[in-house]
Amino acid sequence: MRLTTPAIVLGLRSHGEHGAVVRLLTPEHGLQAAYVRGARGRRMRPVLIAGNLVEAQLVSRTDTQLPQAIVELTHSRGSLLGEPLPAAAIEWVAALTAAALPEQQPYRHIYSGLAGLLEAIEAAPTAAGWAAALVRFELLLLAELGFGLDLSECAASGRTDQLVAVSPRSGRAVSAPEAEPYAGRLLTLPPFVLAGGPASWVDTLDGLALSGHFLARDILTDRAEPLLEARSRLLDRLRRAAGLA
């Protein structure tokens, strides 16, 4: 294999004395793992930060061999490491993507969605400018992996208006009249998930509760418990930022 591609750095794992296995998300070739010589050296450490954009050259002699990679930085987000909320958000979405996606399968919408979310985190002056985009990305990832929610109509009545809740079992929308007898047992469906546009902090946190339920149930199994703990820490910080802690 010989491949030159733009990529988003998702993370790395130490391998040998100075190298590391780096996980990269590419637009056309999906999730790629590759060995990078000197990955933990002074020159490469700033390059291989989660969320950075790079140009990667991957080479392997056989399809079963772990590729070796030469990685050049094209856009750094290292400056965000000193900002607790953006740093935690980037760490979370990078780790989630690396854990959820199978290797070497293209997910162009996920690549575009992640790139857009990272741009929003970098550009927005506060978390209020990107937190709703995080909800949309998590729902996109669920949908692309075959676990999308059905929000087109009410599961009980078939009506398409006043959709205010989601069944935690079926992932289908429920309208206000049908949801009323089950108050406290359904997940809130915030308006921005259906209509787009801006979202209040309350709606954003409801959206994160919605996507988080299905991520934990369908994508992040018991083997990914540390990931869910990282997400919980991020949500705690978002609640404090919103004054809702």
Neighbours of 44 (CB within 10 A): 19
Question: How would you write the pLDDT of the chain (245 residues) with one tens digit per residue?
Answer: 899 999 999 999 888 778 899 999 999 999 999 999 988 888 999 999 999 999 999 999 887 789 999 999 999 999 999 999 999 999 999 999 999 999 999 999 999 999 999 999 999 999 999 999 999 999 999 999 999 999 999 999 999 999 999 999 999 999 999 999 998 899 999 999 999 988 999 999 999 999 999 999 999 987 678 888 889 999 999 999 999 87
What is the C-alpha to C-alpha distance for residues 182 and 165, in angstroms, rounded to an integer?
10
By the 8 A CB rule, do 181 and 193 touch?
A: no
Closest-CA residue to 233 (of 88, 87, 121): 88
Other beta carbons within 10 angstroms of residue 211's beta carbon come to 22
Q: What is the pLDDT of residue 119?
A: 98
pLDDT, position 5: 97
Residue type, 137: F
Q: Which domains does the chain have, with CATH numbers?
A: 2-76 (2.40.50.140), 80-151+189-242 (1.20.1440)
| Contact predicate 209/187, CB 8 Å | yes
